[in-house]
Amino acid sequence: MSELDQFDLKILRELAADGRLSGRELAERIGLSLTPTVRRVRRLEEEQYIQGYGAQLNEQQLVGSISVFVSVTLEKQSESVIARFEGTVTKCPEVMSCFLMSGDADYNLRVVVKDLESYHHFLTRTLTRIPGVAHIKSSFALKTVLIRPAPLL
């Protein structure tokens, strides 16, 4: 992997803000001509600094506005219990992220639902029914203070 210079960082910032920029628009914004800009973008893609392009969807409109952070402790950390848990939660549309953790809980999930009834349904009909789950602790987000994209140094 090559080292990132100021032009590379500008490209990444601009594309993170608007992935639909044409090569010409991007070149104008970063202060390079079209050919070296396109070459740099290709290199950034090849080196996996850019892993894809997508639309920013409105999570609140699509799934709901209630974020719940759920700590899950398993009865034991055997391969089969872990595989069953991870296999189940990755199929749940309410689960926006899932992290295997060190510390008190085995997993931390971020669950997004439209209302408390929807969370209750998810909790009682899905999460508590996964074999091997020993303990569940739910914390409701009161306000989003900051969501930051990947840092650019």
pLDDT in tens, 94-140: 999 999 999 999 999 999 999 999 999 999 999 999 999 999 999 99
Q: Does domain 6-46 have CATH number 2.40.50.100?
A: no
Instruction: Break the chain into its structural domains and give their ranges.
Output: 6-46, 59-140
**How confident is the model over 22-38, as pLDDT tens digits?**
999 999 999 999 999 99
Residue among 99, 81, 101, 79 nearest 90 (CA): 99
Which residues neighbour 69 within 8 Å (Cβ) at sequence distance 6 or greater?
A: 108, 109, 110, 111, 138, 139, 140, 141
Could you tell me which CATH number the domain at 59-140 has? Answer: 3.30.70.920
Average pLDDT over residues 43-68: 93
Q: Which of 24, 23, 29, 55 shows the shortest CA–CA distance to 41?
A: 23
* The two structure tokens encoding residue 100: 């295997």
This prediction's pTM? 0.80
How confident is the model at residue 153, as a pLDDT? 59
